[in-house]
Every structure is written in C-alpha cells, then in structure tokens.
Structure 1
Amino acid sequence: MKTYNRVISIIILFGMMACESFEDLQLDPNRPVQAEPSLLLTAIEVDAFSTVQVSAALASRQLIFTNSASDNQYYGWQRASFADYDQLRQVAKLTVEAERTSNDSYKALSLFFRSYYIIKLTNTFGDIPFTESTKGEAGNFKPEYDTQESIFIQVLSDLKTANSLLTADSGDILGDIIYQGNILKWKKLINSFSLRVLMSMSLKENNSVIDIKGKFAEIFSNPEMFPLFESNMDNGALQYLDVEGNRYPFFNSNDLRTAYYMEKSFVDKLKRNRDPRLFVYADRDNNGRQLQETNPVAYNGLEGAAPLSENTNLILSGTGSPIDSRYYNDPINQPSLLMGYPELMLTLAEAAYRGWIPGDAEEFYREGIRASMEFNNISPHETEAYLDHHMNSYVTAEGLRLILEEKHTSLFMNSGWESFYNQRRTGIPELSLSNQIINPGGIPKRWMYPQEEIQLNLQNMNEALQRQFGGQDNVNAVMWLLRQ
C-alpha cells in the first residue's frame, strides 16, 4: 500500500509538472510537443474531483464564518472567474492526444470533462462561450457566447456519446487515479452525471425540444446501455493520502479550526430529525463539553443571517458548535466527491416523485439516506433507527421537501456547489434572510461576468447580457435554467 501511495503521488506531481511544461513549450514554434494523454488526464482529474470547499456550505446555510462578514454567508458576491477555461484548454489537449493515439476511451473522458466544466461555468453565469471557447490558438480571442439552452442540449449529446465510446475495446486508460482504468465505472459516472444535469433542468420539464423526462427515462430504463452507480463503491471520488500535497484540503487549517461554526437551521434540522450525522459533522459547543458526545443538547448552531457581532458574542459565551475536528485534524478524512451514490439515489427519488420514471420514490429516498450514512461511517443500526423515526418517514404529500432536505444534508462538505444549486432550483430548504444581507435582492441567482471580459470581449459579453437580461449584468438576474 505504501508503494501504491508513493506511485499515486508521483503520478500526480509528474502530471502537474508535465502540463505546466507543455504549456511553456507551446510558446516555441520550433519545438513541436506531444503530451501523453495519461499525464494530462491525471492533472485534469485532480482538479475536477477536488470539490471540497466551505464557500458552498456558507451559502447553503450549513456553516457560518466568524472572522469577518463573508460574502458567501451574507450573499454579497459580485463577479466570478473564468478560471475553469484553463482546465478546458487542458481537456482540449487531451482530445488532441486521444485522436493522435486513436484511443476512444480518452476521447470519451475528454467529452465528459468538457461537459463537467462547461456545466460548472454555465451554472455560475448563464450564457457563456462554449463553441469557440478554446480556439485561442487559432487566433480567436473574442469568442461568442452560446445560449444556455444550446449548451445544455450539446452537453447531453456529448455525455451520451461519451458513454457509447467506452467499450471493452476502446483503449486503456492510463494515469487514472479515480477508477484505475475501469471502463464500467466511468460509464456509471458519466450516466449518473447526465441524470444530475437533467434534474438541474427540472423547471424546463415541459420543454418539448429537449424532452428532459424522456431523456431521463431512457437512461434509467436501460441499465445495460446506460449503467448507473450501484453503491458507494462507484462514487466519483478523489481519495486523499497522508502524503505531502495529497492530504485533505483543510488538514491543519487554522481558519477551519477557529472561525467556522455550524449554522443554526442546519443543526436544528439534524437535532429535530435525530440525525446521527450531527455527531460527525459537528463538535459539541463549549457549554456542552461535559455532556456525552451523542447528546444532541451539546450541539447548537448560529444564525447565518444574524449580525457578525451577535454570533461572536454567542461564541464567547460558550454557545456555537464548531465543525467536527476530523475536517482539520485528519489528513485523509473522507474522499472529495465529484458525484456520489447518495446524490444519485435522491435524484432518482425526486424523478419518481415527479413522475419521470417508474418506481417507488420512498425506496430511492431511503436508499439515498442509507448511502449517505454509510459514506459518513454511520452504523447500520443507527441508520435504521433514523429511518424508523417518524420525522423521517416518507409521506408523499411532503415528498419533495423530504427528498431535497435529505440531499442538502448529504451534500455537506462535498460535491462543490450542488447543495446551493439544488436550493436555487427548488427553494428547498428555505434559507434565512435578514437586514444583514448585503444583496438587496436576497439570495443571488448567479454571478456577474469577470472584469476581464469587459476589457477583452466586451461586445460579445454585451450581446449575451442583452439577450438574457435586457443588458444588465447583476447577481439577481434569472438565467434561462431558472425560468419556467
């Protein structure tokens, strides 16, 4: 195992160095360069699967921050970055190398990663450059913006193609630190991700051009053609190692140790539902240190919308549970998920609730809970006790709320901004607001385009703004994805 860990670390380091030197050599036209797709793949995987972050937990009312008034907590954000286009350029190189080596497996993965990054970007802004987005080497430094609708249509097509390209004869996948070249597991991730994309479009379920319900049912109903995650063993997960450069991203983080506390509505929900994940997400507050670790009374959250001074005073008085110490003390902790089996099961539960697929929404709901508990090392006995508690019983009239609240709980500190995007799409769970919120419009719907676009691509950006929002670039504008 030690030898394996060292090999993985060397691959990651070498992959990152290779991508950097490849970029540098591109500047010299007299030095033709080829990069092994395996080296490109490793670096792309490390970036794409690194989804552990506190910003989404702040915006999703799971954590609060006490060192200052956080823009994520008080909804004061403005512009975001186009940095993911740097990764898309690496993906474009992977595509070139896949063609050069005639390896359909790498072609499939390049389509998947292109889809993944483009969905991240369009979820952030709305319309973005896509068709012309990585053509700088061809002299196009001012790409036009594609409509969000056309982006989703193309992504769904690309994901379907990626799944079909992966076969027993499509070529070896070297440099794969996620699934170690397992073709079936990649197909499961691609198809499970396709269902995430389709569910993110639920407000467009009556759009006959896209046929969201039909596409969802096609994937779900054909497991031989479109295999899906079957357990947590299939998770799209980046495993951490107790090796320099490969440890859990908040290991030894003093900020996480001293400045991040659990949000009140989140803790109250966990306590109300007798949820054992409370004890692995949070630590007891100072006033509860003498109580048993499994006594819910020892845990209290702080209001995400309350004034900063009010929260800091409560902490000084001993009230307020910090995040569990494993998040900053354990160099391995738990994997970073691009997407996991719990999310898939709860997505299927929502699809069954909406009538998109046959099947029992309650069964998917209960399996999603079991999978989340397992991911967080909760015992089967505790899990079944939770499922038997009347507050967690599935009731059809409350089905959508129950499913989405469970998804919100299961996405704590994993899967990037999915917890926020699900809330943005459905309004569940309700997120607290007050006069402390920086944004006059409440919870923002998007981020503004980067400042660099004003300087470098103003005409195309303005055309996209006019097309979407009447020319205004603001965080409260409603993108196509969120309009019924």
Structure 2
Amino acid sequence: MKHIILYIIVLIALSSCKKFDYFQENPNRPTATDPSLLLTNIERVAFSTISADAALASRQLVYTQGNSTAQYYNWNRSSMGYSNIAQAVRMEQEAARVNKHNYRYLAKFFKSYFIVAMTQTFGDIPYSKMMQSIENNNFSDSSATRPVYDKQRDIYIQVLKELKIASDSLGASSDAITGDVVYNGSINAWKKLINSFTLRVLMSLSKKEADSELGIKQRFNEIVSNPTQYPLINTNSENGRLPYYDINGNRYPYYNNNSMKTDYYLDSSFVDILQNLNDPRLFTYGQPAGSVNTTTIKDFSKYDGLVGSALLSYNTGKKGRSQASPINRRYAYEIVNEPSLLIGNSEVQFLLAEAVIRGWITGNANDFYKNGIRASLQFSNFTYPAATGVAYNGQLYTTDEINNYLAQPIINLQAGKEIEQIITQKYISLFMNTGWQAFYEQRRTGYPVFETVFSGVLNNKRIPKRWMYPLDEQNYNGINLEAAIKSQYPNGDDINGVMWLIQ
C-alpha cells in the first residue's frame, strides 16, 4: 500500500508546480474544510494566465538574454495538472458534505478547465480512471497507479457534459458563494463565464463539426440563441479576470522582474501586423525604438522589432544599436498593470463572429468582430503613469481614435478572408494575456503565419503541435503511455505529433 500512495504523491508532485496538499493528507484521517476556503486558491491558479513564454512562442515577443526554447521551438516535455484537479474535486466533495451546492457546480467548471488544458497540451491523457481514483480517494489498485489513457474525443464529450451541468445547475436561490475573488459571489457572472468558456471549447473543436455525437454546432447555437438560460460575457466589466493589487503576493507577476525590464522586445512580425493596420495598441504593448518621448510614442514609424527565428547574435546586435522596440515598461514597472484573463468579452465577440462565418449561428459577423476589436482596444488603453518614464497625459487613444480605427476599410471583414481577419484580431487582443490561447488558435487555424525562416529556430523550422508526456509517466505508467502514443502518433512521443483535436 505504501508504494502505491507514494507513486501517486510523486506523480502529482512531478506533474504540477502547484500545491498538492490534498495528496499529503492521510486518507485514514480525513480533514474537513469549508469549500469557500478552497475556492480562492483554485481561482488564483486558474485565472493566472500571464505568460511571456506563450508570447515568445506566438511570435509576439523576442527574448535577448539567451536562447529561449519557447521562441526557438525546441521545447520537449510538459507536466500534468492533477493537483489542480484534485483541489477542484476536494471543493466539490466538501460542498456536498455541507450542502453548499453552488460550489459543486463551480468545481465542475474548474475540473473541466484544468482537463482541457491538459489534453490541449498532450492529446490523450489518463482521465476517467484517474478521476475515479481522485474522487474516491482510492489508489489501491492498478487502475489508479497505472491508469489507462482516454481518447481525446471521449474527454471532450465528457467535458461538454460537465460544463452544461455546471451552467444549468448554478442557482441564485441556492447557497451564496463566498471566498470568490473574481466575481464576488455573483451567480449570473459565473454563468456567463462558464457559457463563454463553453463556446471556446466548442470552437476549439471546429475541425470536428461533422461529428454528430459531439454536436458542436447545435450546442453552440443552443447557447447563443437562449441568452436567458445561457447568458454570455458581453462587456469588459464581466471579463473573467484576476485583478492585481499593491499587496505582497498579489502584484502583477512580472512587476520588478529584471529580465522583463531589459530582455524582452516586440517581434518584428507582430509589429508589422500592427503597423499595417495603424493599430494604436502598438503604443501600449511596446515602446519606440530609441528615444521615448511624447512625440515618438505615437509615431508608428518609430517602432521596429526583432526576429523570432533569427540567431541570438542578430537580435542582440540590433538591440544594442537601439533599433528595436522593447516591451512596454508597464509590464515590469507597474504593480497593478492589467488583470489576468481566463476569458474576456473581446474573445467572446470573436467567437461569435467566427461562428457566424462558419454557419453555426445567425447574426452579423462584422458587428461581432468589430465589437471584439473595440473591447480589446478599451481593455488595452492603458493610462501612462510616471513609472513609464514618459510624461504622457492620460490614455494613449481616445474614443474618437478607436472609432476612426474601426472605420478603416482594411478593418472590415473581406469575403474569403473573414476567418483570417477574425483570428488575427483575436491574436492581437491576447498579447501577454490568456495563457497559450493565441498559440492554440494559430495551431487550429494557421493564422497568423508564424515565421520560421532564419537559422536560429530549431525543430527543423517547424512549429510544434504539442508537448511530450512527462518523464514520470514513462517511469510509472509506461505500458499505458506507450499504447496511447502508438495509437496517436506514428513517429512516437514527438512535439510535432498532430493530435486528434487538430486533425
């Protein structure tokens, strides 16, 4: 028995950098806690999506201190997230114990969120058997210590069921939600987030829209056509966000980060996209190359980037000549900066626009699309404080300037290019936020094109499609792992393997 429990502890410890206190408890001496005490930490984990590595892999940033594996596409393994799931399960169980049912349904959402993150990373994962073991706190047989891998399709079927239960069952007449640092206990706000996230999951399955059991188009339409039962995020104030404060442990994650101060620059391909569109978000994402003052800060011609696939020596040389735009100082010098988004209004509007183009719902795709752009511009319209080193008075662009940007003919959706334009605008909006979503959208659609031209990029100049499974899976669950790899990836556990989701 001891070696079985030890394996699970090792598995969880290796598979996540998050806390795994649940698995350190003696199962023969269970403790009780109010679910509200668990909710806060689960939210902080799930909503913490700020990632410079994701921006490097998505050709938005370039790193100049060394050879970044994310930038040069030579990563290998990632980790599982069972400890996060275990915390959500524990909240669900504690909620059942004390009859606080709304926490049970929030737990179903968080379980689904963490499971989707895992399967997007690897493909097939141990799911049903591992979930049974976690839920039953039973690790005494081989199905727990060596769980089989579920097919990605089956995982998504179950996730969609769980998300529907969560949305349908949350109720204002039930128990109040406390310990909620995101929505302060608002049931309607949580419904909006769960339904909006469900739309994201459904759209991630766009290549499987003909699968009748998945029912992607039908479920998407069911949500959108019934806003009373399935409300959606519709304003930036409803964003699923984790705000930051000037409190120790609650500050912006890159605040006072030395590397963020000196080593991160905009990618030239990202700068090109923004310049070609006359997009004022360039001014809030980066800074002019060279001198920064009230004249240069809003001059598109003063911005330039480094090349993500170029050799480090090329990028450091251009940086040394002050010919490249560093990331905006606010990302390192602002204690609060902008909140971390799990999903926001801008993304929801782009999902609706794409769904119209795909024929999943009715509506005006151009309106949804422009609503998404407007929401992103408003979210990113940062007010320049003294910390930027520039005495700029107020926000960088006005409402009139936002309207003028949206009125440009180049912004309007063009026949045959709608998906590319929608995804490109979503890509712009996700800068330094919402985790790896920009990378996953490019993986799904091919937009925008990530350049791999120059000799710095590795992986035979290919953009990876996934991560390799954790080494501990080989050590402790090798037979089932090998079976899963063989059934998915003819070339083995390869970062270029194409998982079911994107086939």
TM-score band w.r.t. shorter chain: over 0.9
In the other structure, the counterpart of 2:215 is: 211
What secondary structure sits across from 1:64 in the alignment? strand
Name the structure 2 match of 1:440.
460
- Give 2:401's aligned residue: 382
Counterpart in the other structure of 2:68:
70
3-state SS in 1 of match to 2:164: helix
Letter in 1 for 2:296: Q
- The equivalent residue for 1:327 is 331
**Paired residue for 2:475, among 443, 455, 460?**
455
For the residue of structure 2 that corresponds to 1:86, the secondary structure is: helix
2:358 is the alignment partner of 1:354: yes
The letter of the residue matching 1:426 is T
- Residue of 368, 374, 388 corresponding to 2:372: 368
Is residue 452–residue 461 contact of structure 2 (8 Å, CA) maintained in 1?
no
- Alignment partners' CA distance in 1, 2:32 and 2:82: 21
* Partner SS, residue 145 of structure 2: coil
Contact 2:196/2:348 (8 A) holds in 1: yes
User: In the alignment, what sits opposite 1:394?
Assistant: 413
- TM-score computed with the length of structure 2 as normaliser: 0.89
Structure 1 counterpart of 2:310, which letter? A
Q: CA separation in 1, counterparts of 2:130 and 2:351?
A: 31
Secondary structure of the corresponding residue to residue 57 of structure 1? helix
Match status 1:118 vs 2:97:
no
Inter-partner Cα distance in structure 2 for 1:420 and 1:123:
11
Task: List per-residue Cα deviations over 1:22-64 (Å, max 9, x = no partner).
Answer: 654x2273x4410110111111000000000101100110000
The answer to whether residue 349 in structure 2 is matched with residue 345 in structure 1 is yes
Could you tell me which runs of 5 or more consecutive residues in structure 1 were left unpaired when the two chains were aligned.
1-18
Q: Percent identity?
A: 44
Shift of 1:289: 5.8
Q: Which runs of 4+ in 1 moved over 3 A?
A: 19-24, 287-291
Q: Which residue number corresponds to residue 501 of structure 2?
A: 481
Matches within 5 A, 1:170-181: 170-181=174-185
Counterpart residue number, 1:138: 138
Separation in 1, partners of 2:274, 2:210: 35
Tell me the amino acid that sits aligned with residue 27 of structure 1.
N
Distance change (3 Å), C-alpha of 1:227 and 1:392: same
Instruction: Specify which of 247, 253, 264 is matched with residue 243 of structure 1.
Output: 247
What number of residue pairs does the alignment pair up? 462
Give the aligned residue type for 1:422.
E
**Structure 1 residues 307 and 460: alpha-carbon distance in aligned structure 2, compared to 1, 3 A threshold:** same
User: Which amino acid is the alignment partner of residue 442 of structure 1?
Assistant: R
Q: Is the Cα contact below 8 Å between 1:112 and 1:190 reproduced in 2?
A: yes
Aligned to 1:56: 54
On the 8 A contact 2:485/2:492 being kept in 1, the answer is yes
The verdict on how the C-alpha distance between 1:23 and 1:374 changes in structure 2, with shifts beyond 3 A counting, is same
Q: Tell me, what secondary structure is at the counterpart of 2:416? A: helix
Task: Give, in whole Å, the separation in 2 of the partners of 1:69 and 1:467.
Answer: 34
Structure 2: which amino acid aligns with 1:204? Answer: K
Q: Decide which moves more: 378-387 or 248-257.
A: 378-387
Q: How far apart, CA to CA, are the structure 2 residues paired with 1:143 and 1:261?
A: 43
1:127 to 121, 124, 127: 124
C-alpha distance in 2, partners of 1:20/1:125? 21
Tell me if the contact between 1:287 and 1:319 (Cα under 8 Å) persists in the aligned partners: no
User: CA RMSD, aligned part only?
Assistant: 1.5
Q: 1:68 to 1:154 in 2, by over 3 A?
A: same
1:177-231 CA-to-partner distances (Å, cap 9, x unmatched) read 1001000000000000000000001111111221211111111101111110110
Q: Measured at CA, do residues 196 and 21 of structure 1 come closer, stay the same or move farther in structure 2, by a change above 3 Å?
A: closer
Structure 2 CA distance for partners of 1:264 and 1:351, relative to 1, 3 Å: same
SS at match of 2:265: strand
Partner of 2:235: 231
Query: What is the aligned partner in structure 2 of residue 403 from structure 1?
Result: 422
- Structure 2: which 5+ residue stretches go unaligned? 1-18, 382-396
Instruction: Return the letter of the residue paired with 1:118.
Output: I
Per the alignment, in what secondary structure is the counterpart of residue 306 of structure 2? coil
Counterpart contact for 1:191–1:228, Cα < 8 Å: yes
Contact 1:291–1:298 at 8 Å: present in 2 too?
A: no
Deviation at 1:379, TM superposition (A): 2.9
Contact 1:288 1:299 in 2 (8 A): no
Letter in 2 for 1:469: Y
Measured in 2, the distance between the counterparts of 1:393 and 1:463 equals: 48
What is the CA-CA distance between 1:391 and the residue it aligns to? 2.0
**More off after superposition, 356-365 vs 428-437:** 428-437
Shift of 1:381: 1.4
Aligned position for 2:394 = none
Name the residue aligned to 1:16: none
Looking at structure 2, the residues matched to 397 and 470 of structure 1 have their Cα atoms a distance apart, in angstroms, of 34
Does the 8 A contact of 2:241 with 2:339 survive in 1? yes
Q: What letter matches 1:330 in structure 2?
A: E
